[in-house]
C-alpha cells in the first residue's frame, strides 16, 4: 500500500464493542485478568502496553517499513532509550550539525554512563571511517541536518557502520517517512520526534524508534521502555495517531510551499544564502535527489547582515511566528545561534524556517515586506 493509504488504514483501531469508526481513547491504567491468570486482550498495565500506544507503534513502524516500533514521551526520551541500550565504554559517532540536545545529552548525561562520542562532518562519509574505533557501536545520522540542512549519504554511511559492527541510526524527524525512508536505505534504526510532523499541530510531545528487525535489541528496548516508563499517555498517542492520518498530505503541501519560498528567497538581494536540499545550488543536491522522496518543509537562510539584522527580520515577519520547533501547520521562524548559545557553530545571520500550510503567495509577500529596507 502507498503511504497515503497506510496513514489511514494503519491508524484505525478496530473497536469490536461499539464499532466506532474513530478510535476510542483507553485511559485505563489497568486491565482485567482472567481466573486462569491470563489477559484476554494481552494488556496488563499501561506502562507496559496500552491499545492507543500499540496502534501508534504499529502505524509508525509500517510507515517507516520497519518490523517494530516503540513510542516514547518525547523525541529525547526515544534517543535516551537507545543510548541506554548501549554498554558503558561504547563509542558513538554523531554529526557536528545535529539537533543540539542530542549531542548535549551524550556530553552531559551519557558521558557519566561511560559512553564516548566523536562529532564529525557527515557530508563526507570518509570522516566517519576515520572516526571509527574498535568500540564504536553506533553511527548517528541526521539528514537533513539542523539547522544548516546538510545532507549525508545514508547508504554509504550505513555500509561503513556495518563493516565495523556498528548500528546505523537516522534521526528522520525533519524529512518524515513521506520525505525519506532510511530503513530502505540500509539504516537499522529510525528515530523520530513525533512532536513535529507526525503530531503536526504543535500540541503534543512524543518520540519513536523504529527497528528494521524485531531482534535482541528490540527486546532490550521493549524492556527499557517498560521499566523506565518514559511513555506517552493514551491521549498523546491518540493525538499523534490522528495527526498521522493527514501526515502525507500535510508534508507534501508544506514541501511544495518550502520549495517555492526557497526559490523566492534565493533570488532576493537581501539574502546571502538559502539552505534547502531541493535547490540545485545545494552542495549535496545530488545525494538529496537520490535518497529523498521529497525535500521537506524546512529551510534556513543567511540574511545579509549580522545577528541584530536577522533578529529584526523575525520581528517584521507577520505570518511567520517567531518560535522554536517545527513541523506544525503554522509557519515558524527562529534565530538559531541565540537559542543554541555561545558554543554553537551556527552562523549569526542564520534564520531557520519551518514552512507551514498557509498560502504560498501570502508567505512570499510576508518575506518581501520583512526584507524591504
Ligand X SMILES: *Cc1c(COP(=O)(O)O)cnc(C)c1O
Gyration radius of the chain over CA positions: 21
* Shortest CB 207 distance to ligand X, Å: 5
Is 165 a catalytic site residue? no
Is residue 99 at the binding interface for ligand X, with CB under 6 A as the rule?
A: yes
Out of 43, 49, 53, 99, which one is annotated catalytic? 99
Residues in Cβ contact with 122 at an 8 Å cutoff, skipping those fewer than 6 apart: 95, 96, 97, 128, 141, 143, 145, 150, 152, 157
Min. distance of Cβ 244 from ligand X in angstroms? 16
Say whether 214 is catalytic: no
Distance separating alpha carbons of residues 64 and 247, to the nearest angstrom: 13
d(CA 371, CA 312): 10
74 is an interface residue for ligand X by CB under 6 A:
yes
Do residues 262 and 277 lie in contact, with contact meaning Cβ atoms separated by under 8 Å? no
Note whether 195 binds ligand X by CB under 6 A: yes
285 a catalytic residue: no
How far is Cα of residue 2 from the mean position of the Cα atoms in its chain?
Answer: 21
- Cα distance between residue 110 and residue 332, in whole Å: 32
Catalytic annotation, pick one of 150, 196, 250, 337: 196
E strand intervals along 254-297: 271-275
Q: Which is nearer to ligand X, 147 or 278 (CB)?
A: 147
Taking the least distance from each CB to ligand X, the nearer of 193 and 284 is 193
Which of 51, 75, 147, 278 contacts ligand X by CB under 6 A?
Answer: 75
> Applying CB under 6 A, does 205 fall inside the site for ligand X?
yes
CB of 243 to ligand X, least distance (A): 13
3-class SS of residue 293: coil
Question: Quick check: 147 binds ligand X (CB under 6 A)?
Answer: no
Q: Which stretch binds ligand X (CB under 6 A): 170-178, 212-220, 349-357, 362-370?
A: 170-178
Catalytic residue among 47, 58, 220, 304: 47
**Three-state DSSP state, 207:** strand
Question: Does residue number 196 form part of the binding site for ligand X (CB under 6 A)?
Answer: yes
CB 96 within 8 Å of CB 119? yes
Of 97, 153, 171, 236, the active-site residue reads 171
Least distance CB 171 / ligand X (angstroms): 5
Residue from 146, 241, 300, 302 binding ligand X (CB under 6 A): 146
The residue with its CB nearest to ligand X is 75
**Residue with smaller CB distance to ligand X, 91 or 196:** 196
> Is there binding between residue 11 and ligand X (CB under 6 A)?
no
Q: How far is the CB of 106 from ligand X (least distance, A)?
A: 13
For residue 161 the three cell numbers come to 557502520
Least CB distance from residue 195 to ligand X, whole Å?
Answer: 4
Question: What CA–CA distance (Å, rounded) separates 48 from 219?
Answer: 13
207 makes contact with ligand X (CB under 6 A): yes
Is 204:75 a contact under the CB 8 Å cutoff? no
- Binding of ligand X by 193 (CB under 6 A): yes
Measure Cα distances from 160 to 98, 138, 163, 200, 259 in Å: 19, 11, 5, 34, 32
- The b/e string for 183-208 (b: 16+ C-beta within 10 A; e otherwise) is bbbbbbbbbbbbbbbbbbebebbbbb
Question: Minimal distance in Å, beta carbon 59 to ligand X?
Answer: 17
Residue for cell digits 534556513? Answer: 300
Q: Is 196 marked active-site?
A: yes
Residue whose CB is less far from ligand X, 62 or 195: 195
- Which residues are known to be catalytic? 47, 99, 171, 196
Residues found near ligand X in the complex (CB under 6 A): 74-76, 99, 142, 146, 171, 173-174, 193, 195-196, 205, 207
Amino acid at each position: 500500500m502507498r503511504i497515503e493509504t497506510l496513514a489511514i488504514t494503519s491508524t484505525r483501531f478496530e473497536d469490536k464493542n461499539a464499532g466506532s469508526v474513530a478510535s476510542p481513547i483507553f485511559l485505563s491504567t489497568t486491565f482485567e485478568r482472567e481466573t486462569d491468570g491470563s489477559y484476554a486482550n494481552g494488556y496488563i498495565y499501561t506502562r507496559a502496553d496500552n491499545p492507543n500506544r500499540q496502534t501508534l507503534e504499529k502505524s509508525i513502524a509500517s510507515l517507516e517499513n520497519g518490523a517494530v516500533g516503540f513510542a516514547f514521551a518525547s523525541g529525547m526520551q526515544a534517543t535516551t532509550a537507545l543510548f541506554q541500550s548501549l554498554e558503558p565504554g561504547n563509542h558513538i559517532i554523531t554529526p557536528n550539525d545535529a539537533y543540539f540536545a542530542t549531542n548535549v545529552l551524550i556530553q552531559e548525561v551519557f558521558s557519566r554512563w561511560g559512553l564516548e562520542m566523536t562529532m564529525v562532518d557527515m557530508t563526507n562519509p570518509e570522516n566517519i571511517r576515520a572516526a571509527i574505533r574498535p568500540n564504536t557501536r553506533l553511527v548517528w545520522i541526521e539528514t537533513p541536518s539542523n539547522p544548516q540542512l546538510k545532507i549525508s549519504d545514508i547508504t554509504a554511511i550505513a555500509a561503513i557502520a556495518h563493516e565495523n559492527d556498528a548500528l546505523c541510526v537516522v534521526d528522520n524527524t525533519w524529512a518524515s517517512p513521506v520525505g525519506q525512508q532510511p530503513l530502505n536505505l540500509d539504516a537499522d534504526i529510525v528515530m523520530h520526534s513525533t512532536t513535529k510532523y507526525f503530531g503536526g499541530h504543535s500540541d503534543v510531545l512524543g518520540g519513536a524508534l523504529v527497528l528494521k528487525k524485531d531482534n535482541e535489541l528490540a527486546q532490550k528496548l521493549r524492556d527499557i521502555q517498560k521499566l523506565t516508563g518514559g511513555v506517552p499517555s493514551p491521549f498523546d498517542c491518540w493525538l499523534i495517531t490522528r495527526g498521522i492520518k493527514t501526515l502525507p498530505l500535510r508534508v507534501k503541501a508544506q514541501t511544495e510551499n518550502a520549495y517555492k519560498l526557497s526559490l523566492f528567497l534565493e533570488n532576493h538581494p537581501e539574502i546571502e544564502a538559502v539552505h534547502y536540499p531541493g535547490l540545485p545550488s545545494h552542495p549535496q543536491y545530488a545525494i538529496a535527489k537520490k535518497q529523498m522522496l521529497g525535500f521537506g518543509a524546512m529551510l534556513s537562510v543567511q540574511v545579509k547582515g549580522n545577528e541584530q539584522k536577522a533578529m529584526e527580520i523575525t520581528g517584521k515577519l507577520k505570518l511567520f511566528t517567531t518560535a522554536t520547533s517545527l513541523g506544525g501547520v503554522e509557519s515558524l521562524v527562529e534565530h538559531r545561534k541565540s537559542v543554541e548559545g555561545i558554543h554553537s557553530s551556527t552562523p549569526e545571520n542564520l534564520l531557520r524556517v519551518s514552512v507551514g500550510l498557509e498560502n504560498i503567495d501570502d508567505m512570499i509577500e510576508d518575506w518581501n515586506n520583512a526584507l524591504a529596507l
